[in-house]
Structure formats: structure tokens, C-alpha cells
Amino acid sequence: MYTGKIKSHYLLSSLFKMKPKNPFKFAILSIVLLLAMGLYNCKPVPSEPEVPKFDDKYTDVKLPEINLPDPEEVISTPATVNSSAAMDSIAADLATGKVTPGVIAAIGAVQKVVSAAEATKLVDALTPEILSSLSNGGSLPADLQASMLAIANNPALAAYMPTLTLPTVDGKVITGFVKETPAKNNEGVIGNPDFSVAAIHSPCADSARAAYNRAKATLDAAKTAQDLIVTTYYDKLVDAATKNTEQRKALIRAEILSFKTKATKGHAGELAYYEAHKENYDSFRLVILMASYTQAMKLYDNAEKVAISAIDTEVAAKIAYALKVRNTNLPTIQANYNTQIAAMQATLTASYGTCHDQGQG
């Protein structure tokens, strides 16, 4: 039996060779055969499955805004060397040669601390050369200065000695050296982590992953921008805190030197006067003047040290604040970023599930 396909031209030629007995039946048969051949030769063309888009699933991907605080104000008070009211009073009287109750009281206080012989010895040590050196901003010889400081520090003479008011920074009294807070170079910055996604491949899965990657690129850019805002603000605070620091310290040193020079020349004039007329004045008057001067010089030196320490403390406080702002905001940005990434990965997983349901997984 022949089972091959009958070619259409053969069928048609056979039909036309047939002698129809009934033309109507022949026409119907011809139409049926033609339809059969048409249906036989018409083959359906398979359509490509539509690949879904997933970008609309990431429209809410964004980072919360960050609000940086205003710079914190650091309130400081300066160091000051304060003269004694009692000493100012008797110095004026001594300069005129008057023996007032105040002068008598001061002499009595010195006599409790220094003997007459020691007082004479100290005054004799004030040679014209030393007085000339003092008038030009010099200092006392070390041994004479040590003796005068010992007298000045005696509690019996406290009312006649100058005092030092220590500086403060944000209410904290500065007493000495302060270790500066290092300005770290944005060590807290965390780069955008590379969150990997499952390597599923199909047109649908590739579309889902591409949408995820586009959304992640946008999120990465937002995080980088916020990190930059924070680190730039940190740098701005540090620059403001350390700006002109050395110039400020140099200004303090210059001011202290000016005060010391002025005080030295003033005392030198008084001492020179008494040196020329010491036969008319007892040595105790000169001792208390000299002790007051020596104590003032020491306090000026201390004032310079604590004033510079106050600057360092102020700078350290401002840098510490800058670090606090930076180290608070950068981890917050990172946490917000991680939260968004976790949600995006969940969305991607759900998208993969959709692809599987569509028979494309």
C-alpha cells in the first residue's frame, strides 16, 4: 500500500481527468479536497513568550534623608593674672615714701617670713646690673628668683601676691597640658558592599536581575552621595577647629611677653628708686615688692601654658564633636542602605518565583 503524501498537482490532474456523472457532486468534492489540502499545508508558527519587566517593583527604593546638626559652640574663658588690691595700694604709698597703716601691716607680714639679715642680703643682691637687666625685660638670677618665690608662696604673704585665674573650656577648668584629639581621616566611611544574587539564567530571570541591578546602582549612588555629605561636613568642622591654631598660640605668647616686659620695667623702676634711697627705707619694703614681682613673673609663665592648653582643649572638643557627628551618621546611612538591600533581595527572589511560575525558571 502506498503511504506517501499525495502531491496536490497530481490530485488536481486526476480530478480534471474524471468524467463527472453529476456536476454538482463533482463541484462539492472538489471544494472539500481543496480545503483539506489547505488545512494540511497550514502549520502554526510558535510565538516567543513575553518577557516581563520588573522595574516598577523598585520604585520605592530610596534612602531616608540625613539631617546634620549645626556646629556645637565651645565656650571658653581666658587665663588672667590678677594683681593684689592690697599690694597695689601699698605700692602706691611706697612710691611716694609714705608710711601708711597698709605699709606697716605689709612690713609686719614680711618680718614674720624673713629675718632682717636675710632681707638685707636679698636687697643687696639686687645689683645695678640686675636692675638694668630687669628694665630691659630680663629676669632674676636663678638663686635669687628661687628665694623670692619661696617668700611669695608663704601663706602669710598671700594677701599681697598676685593670683592666676585659670581658663575654662565648656565649664571645665584647664590646669595644664591637654592631649589633642587626633583628626582621623574619615576612617568611618564604609563602601557599598557587593550583594550577590543567585545565578539563575532565563530571559525572565535575566530581566528580573537587570531591574534589581539598576535599582541597586541608584541606591549605591544615593549612599555614596550621603557618605560624601557627612565626610565633607566632618572635614569642614575639623578645618574650622584647627584653623589658625598656631597663630592663636603665637598671639598668646606675644601677649604674655608684653605683660611680663611691662611688669618687669615697672618693678625695675621702683627697685632702682629704693636702691638709690635704701638708707631711708628698710629692706622689708623692697622684699615684698620683689616677691610680688617674682610671683607675677611665675604666674605669667603659668598663664601662657594653661592658655595654650585651653586652645588645645577647645580644638579637641570641636574635633570630638565632629567625630561624633560623623560616627553617628555614617553607620545610620549604612543601616538604612542594608535595610533597602534586604528588601530588594526579597523582591528579586519573588520575581524569580514569578519566572518559575511562568515556566521560565
In a domain, residue 305? The reply is: yes
pLDDT at 222 over 80: yes
Q: What is the pLDDT of residue 348?
A: 94
In a domain, residue 121? The reply is: yes
DSSP SS3 for 320: helix
Query: What's the distance, Cα to Cα, between the start and end of the chain in Å?
Result: 48
Q: What domain count does the chain have?
A: 1
Beta strand segments in the chain, E: 76-77, 80-82, 163-165, 168-169, 172-173
Torsion of CA 206, 211, 215, 220, to 10 degrees: 20
Q: What is the mean pLDDT of residues 41-68?
A: 80
Beta strand segments in 67-212, E: 76-77, 80-82, 163-165, 168-169, 172-173
Spatial distance between the Cα atoms of 155 and 351, rounded to a whole number of angstroms: 86
Residue type at position 102:
G
Q: What is the pLDDT of residue 251?
A: 96
pLDDT at 208 over 90: yes
DSSP SS3 for 19: coil
Nearest Cα to 55, choosing from 240, 209, 286? 209
Q: How many helices (H) and strands (E) does the chain have?
A: 10, 5
In a domain, residue 92? The reply is: yes
In a domain, residue 255? The reply is: yes
Q: Angle between the 283-357 and 142-152 helix axes, to the nearest 10 degrees? A: 90
In a domain, residue 135? The reply is: yes
In a domain, residue 281? The reply is: yes
Q: What is the pLDDT of residue 245?
A: 95
How many CB atoms sit inside 10 A of residue 204's CB?
24
DSSP SS3 for 359: coil
How many CB atoms sit inside 10 A of residue 75's CB?
9
CA angle 29, 30, 34 (to 5 degrees): 120
Q: What is the mean pLDDT of residues 121-146?
A: 86
**Confidence bin at 272 (pLDDT 50/70/90):** confident
Q: What is the pTM of this model?
A: 0.74
Nearest Cα to 71, choosing from 329, 332, 320, 318? 318
Q: Which three cell numbers stand for residue 80?
A: 588672667
Nearest Cα to 174, choosing from 351, 306, 335? 306
Phi-psi region of 186 (alpha: psi -120 to 50; beta: other; left: phi over 0): left
In a domain, residue 115? The reply is: yes
pLDDT at 244 over 90: yes
Q: What is the mean pLDDT of residues 248-271?
A: 88
Spatial distance between the Cα atoms of 281 and 266, rounded to a whole number of angstroms: 19
At 135-173, the pLDDT tens digits run 777 888 999 999 999 999 999 999 999 999 999 999 999
**Across all residues in the chain, what is the average pLDDT?**
83
In a domain, residue 47? The reply is: no
Asked whether 294 and 195 are in contact (CB, 8 A), the reply is no
At 312-327, the pLDDT tens digits run 999 999 999 999 999 9
Nearest Cα to 85, choosing from 292, 331, 356? 292
Q: What is the pLDDT of residue 92?
A: 80
Q: Structural domain of residue 234, as residue ranges?
A: 82-165+201-357
Please tell me the least confidently modeled range out of 73-77, 222-226, 352-356.
352-356
Spatial distance between the Cα atoms of 50 and 65, rounded to a whole number of angstroms: 38
